[in-house]
A and B are shown apart, each in its own frame.
Chain A
Amino acid sequence: MTVPPARIRTLTIDGKDVGAREDETILDVARENGIWIPTLCQMTGLSNIGACRLCLVEVAGSTKLQPACVTRVEEGMQVTAHSDRLAEYRKMIVELLFAEGNHICSVCVTNGHCDLQWLAQRLEIDHIRFPYLYGKRSVDASHERFVLDHNRCVLCTRCVRVCDEVEGAHTWDIMGRGTNARVITDLAQPWGESTSCTSCGKCVSVCPTGALFEQGKAVTEMVKHRELLPMLLTMRGRQR
């Protein structure tokens, strides 16, 4: 049986001519071609949700900005992944995360291994222009192996997705609205009392910040194993 030929699209990203399969996203193609687009909620191996808005790009002919992680390529598309306006929006988005949570890098277990901290540096953020909100948030240390610190959670929902889509447990979910939104385990019970959690630790490895970490880790000690998910998916035979 012959496989139907894959349709190929040609487009430009930041003026560079690129080719792509029709089912690829702008982000896939940009990465393939060495064009860096910042992302946070996106993680290869998990479903794309277009939530963090860091990967917004300009597409010629459209007044709306498009999230690169969920926007399919189209023939003749002219994508601008880097402009002053996008750079400013990306900075502001990361600044808003710092203003929202209580991110104190100097005393964080993930200091030095944190996606948020790295993004701030890469986007040349040297201070947060927006007033810090200093919300009162809690820490759940009831699990025998892991800790959840809401102060450092950016609500990217990587934990929710990896638990649902890869582990199949769906222990994690989101509760509440606006800045009161929180990740929860089961029906907002303490993590240690969760009956669905398999203690597999996938959520900890995909968490971009120090919100999820292993018990007993001190400042800078919580190294995240980002290679775990791609490896697992390869072992399971998933192609892409």
Chain B
Amino acid sequence: MSTDLTPPTARSDAERGEPKPKVKAATVWLDGCSGCHMSFLDIDERLIELAQHIDMVYSPLVDPKQFPDHVDVALVEGAVSSEEDLEKIKRIRKHTSILIAFGDCAVTANVPSMRNSFSVKDVYQRGYFETATRRAGVPDQVVPKLLPQARPIHEYVPVDVFLQGCPPPADVIYGLLTDLLAGRKPNLTEHTRFGR
């Protein structure tokens, strides 16, 4: 899969001397703690610089509720853990050019995978009965059903870039995005690793 973020149309536009259209970006939050999103925000003032090249079309940080038909780059945080996650990731893959597994939960299933040695029944038992302080019971509405195990994204759909870290450092996220915008292939293991 290509890691060149410049859409073909943009290339011809650039040749015609027209301004380069912005890259359509999305961030997604599956089974994770949102720490990766926090780290993303830690890019701080450089966000303003990025915003000149990027249009955030879908994210927990912006308004749209439906994943768009076309996204150039999607940063997906979290493991695939529930039926909803699975549906989402399939749709994201279908409508995204560059899918980035964003952080350890997306790359390795990380902390969410700690439930994998136990059955879903036991997990529910622990979470909704043994440790419940009031109204014990498994919610059957709104909360999506858990899959048997939490697994990394690439076990379900192809992933283009793996960004490790728990969470990935802000500098590395920024570096990755600027590399992609410049059409460079980033070498991430130089800067981050599992658990960083």
Q: Which residues on A are within 8 Å of B, measured CB to CB?
A: 98, 102-108, 111-112, 117-118, 120-121, 124-129, 131-132, 134-137
A127 and B195 form a contact (CB under 8 A): no
A127 touches B117 (CB 8 A): no
Contact A107 B111, beta carbon cutoff 8 Å: yes
B110 near A106: Cβ-Cβ < 8 Å = yes
Distance between A31 CB and nearest chain B CB, rounded to angstroms: 23
B152: chain A residues within 8 A (beta carbon)? 127-128, 132
**Whole-angstrom CA separation of A126 from B163 in the bound complex:** 7
Q: Are A127 and B149 in contact (CB under 8 A)?
A: no
Given contacts A105-B194, A134-B117, contact A127 B107 (CB under 8 A): yes
In the complex, the answer to whether A117 meets B194 with C-beta atoms within 8 Å is yes
A131's nearest neighbour on chain B, judged by CB, is B155
A125 to B164, CA, bound (A): 10
List chain A residues, Cβ under 8 A from B189. Answer: 121, 124-126
Which B residues, 97 to 124, have Cβ-Cβ distances below 8 Å to chain A?
Answer: 101, 104, 107-111, 113-114, 116-118
Main secondary structure of the interface of A (DSSP, over half): loop
The number of residue pairs between A and B whose CB atoms lie closer than 8 Å in the complex comes to 74
What's the Cα separation between A131 and B164 when bound, in Å? 17
Would A127 and B166 count as touching, CB distance under 8 A? no
A126 near B195 with CB under 8 A, answer no
Contact of A126 among B107, B113, B114 (CB under 8 A): B107
Pick the residue among B149, B187, B193 that contacts A134 (CB under 8 A). Answer: B149
Distance in angstroms from B124 CB to nearest chain A CB is 18
What's the least CB distance linking B29 to chain A, in Å?
A: 17
Interchain CB contact under 8 A, A104 and B107: no
> Counting chain B CB atoms within 10 Å of each CB, which of A102, A103, A134 scores highest?
A134
Q: List 12 A-B contacts (CB under 8 A).
A: A102-B113, A104-B111, A105-B194, A106-B194, A111-B195, A124-B189, A127-B107, A127-B164, A129-B154, A132-B108, A134-B149, A135-B117
* B113→A127 contact, CB < 8 A: no
Residues of B within 8 A of A (CB): 101, 104, 107-111, 113-114, 116-118, 149, 151-152, 154-155, 159, 162, 164, 166, 187-189, 193-196
Among A106, A118, A126, A128, contact of B166 (Cβ-Cβ < 8 Å):
A106
CB-CB under 8 A from A111, the residues of chain B are 195
Provide the bound-state CA to CA distance between A126 and B190, in Å. 10
Q: Are B164 and A104 in contact (CB under 8 A)?
A: no
A98 to B152, CA, bound (A): 13
Q: Are A126 and B111 in contact (CB under 8 A)?
A: no
Known contacts A120-B193, A121-B193; A105/B116 CB under 8 A = no
Enumerate chain A residues within 8 angstroms of B195, measured Cβ to Cβ.
104-106, 108, 111-112, 117
The CA-CA distance from A192 to B156 in the complex, in Å, is 43
Q: Which residues of chain B are within 8 angstroms of A126 by Cβ–Cβ distance?
A: 107, 162, 164, 188-189
A27 to B104, CA, bound (A): 34
Asked if residues B107 and A117 are in contact (CB atoms below 8 Å), the reply is no
Cβ contacts under 8 Å, B110 to chain A: 104, 106
* A132 and B164 within 8 A (CB): no
Task: With CB as the reference atom, state the residue of chain B lying closest to A116.
Answer: B194
Please measure, in the bound complex, the distance between the C-alpha atom of A118 and the C-alpha atom of B159, giving whole angstroms: 23
Are A127 and B162 also in contact (CB < 8 A) when A104-B113, A107-B111 are?
A: yes
Determine the distance from Cα of A129 to Cα of B189 in the docked complex, in whole angstroms.
Answer: 16
By the criterion CB–CB under 8 Å, are A134 and B107 in contact? no
> Within 8 Å CB of A129, what residues of B?
154
Q: How far is the CA of A126 from the CA of B155 in the complex (A)?
A: 14
Inside 8 A of B104's CB, which chain A residues have their CB?
105-106
What residues of B have a CB within 8 angstroms of the CB of A107 in the complex? 111
In chain A, what residue has the closest Cβ to B33? A106
Q: A98-B108, A106-B166, A134-B117 are in contact. Are A127 and B154 (CB under 8 A)?
A: yes
Give the Cβ gap from A136 to chain B, nearest Cβ, in Å.
Answer: 4
9 tightest Cβ-Cβ pairs between the two chains A and B: A105-B195, A106-B166, A126-B162, A134-B116, A121-B193, A105-B194, A127-B162, A136-B117, A124-B189
